[in-house]
Structure 1
Amino acid sequence: MNAMTKANLLQAYQVIVYSRALHPEHFPLRGRRVHRRGAYEFEAWVMPGQHVLRFTYGAACVCELVTDAEKSPVSGMVSAFLAAGERDFEHKFEREKFTYMTTVQTENLAENLYAATYDEILELALEKKALHHAWEDEHGKCLSVIDIIEMNKEIHAECYHLIASGGVVVRTQTLFEHR
């Protein structure tokens, strides 16, 4: 695979934040987890190379979609940005009294580094019993992982998407915090 193709695969990834619920029937889910704690509910959906995180607090809902799909829902979109490189984003939902924060890191790895990273992330997923989905593309093993850490007033999600085509690794660290 040439450098241009690798760059194009990486630049296709975007993070989209919504101020409304997304619904699972519109996505090719391969796994789903629901967490309820105190005043919030959190759902994580894993898909091949994508995920949705859905946080509900009272009547308010915010969703994070990380995807390489060209077409995504536009209704209720708060922000959308390309995931290439490293990026931080924060949005305070003042009326709803919660904050969404994410850090996104992406990179293209050489085959040997990709294989080592794949093994490391798969081991982490199995050890922590994280939500994950493994599959293969035309270049090898791929993996999507969502590791969730619950706290009383916040929830953290570390997500990894490893795509063999291009040696693409997308990592997000997301926090939903209510006051």
Structure 2
Amino acid sequence: MFRLSLYQRALHPELFGIQDRLTITQADQYDFEAWIVPGGHVLRFQNAENLCLTETVTDQDAALPERGLLHALPCIGEKEHDETIEDTIRYVTTVQTESLSENLYSATLNEMRDFAAEADALSYEWAEADGQANLSLVDIQRYRGEIHAQSYHLLENGGFVLRTQTIFELV
């Protein structure tokens, strides 16, 4: 089962099979890093006072530490979370999952491939041993004082689609 976790700390890259990454620095306001992993992602946001929040979406949460864990959401159906940490960073996220028919999954996969190319999003596509096509992508919008991140994780087995929308905002 997939889980979205929010940590008040950075996590070590060796915990994840990172396929691609993006780093953003906004002049003396924040540092942001996104990692794409098969079927998931890691987002790290750190303000100028070194308060660090890390969001993970993965089905491998048993390997992740408990230290610094602020909140965890199972990625089933629709979920929302809104929290301000130490009166300096507002974190807002939504999670949506659905299971698609084979035809609809195939069409959605093609649309997401096109979207990833057009948006120059972080993306990683892989096939299972039986040839099933899967895709993970993270699209980032950078603003003054905030980051918006949208992710899509598509797994052909069961036509599973997981979408998250996250905002890290300086307050």
TM-score by length of 2: 0.95
Return closer, same or farther for 1:139/1:167 CA change in 2, 3 Å cut-off.
farther
Corresponding residue for residue 77 of structure 2: 85
How far does the alpha carbon of each residue in 1:23-47 deviate from its partner, in whole angstroms, 9 at most, with x for none?
2122110001101113101100001
Corresponding residue for residue 124 of structure 2: 133
CA RMSD of aligned residues (A): 1.0
Return closer, same or farther for 1:93/1:152 CA change in 2, 3 Å cut-off.
same
Q: Distance in 1 between matches of 2:37 and 2:120?
A: 17
5+ long unaligned stretches in structure 1: 1-11
CA contact (8 A) 2:3 2:61 kept: no
SS class of match (1:166): helix
Q: Is 1:19 aligned to residue 11 of structure 2?
A: no
Q: Distance in 2 between matches of 1:73 and 1:123?
A: 35
TM-score by length of 1: 0.91
5+ long unaligned stretches in structure 2: none
How many positions carry a matched residue from both structures?
167
Which stretches of structure 1, 4 residues or more, deviate above 3 A after TM superposition? none
Q: Distance in 2 between matches of 1:25 and 1:81?
A: 23
Q: For residue 94 of structure 1, report the CA deviation from its aligned partner.
A: 2.7
Q: Is 1:176 aligned to residue 131 of structure 2?
A: no
Residue identity over aligned pairs, in percent, reads 43
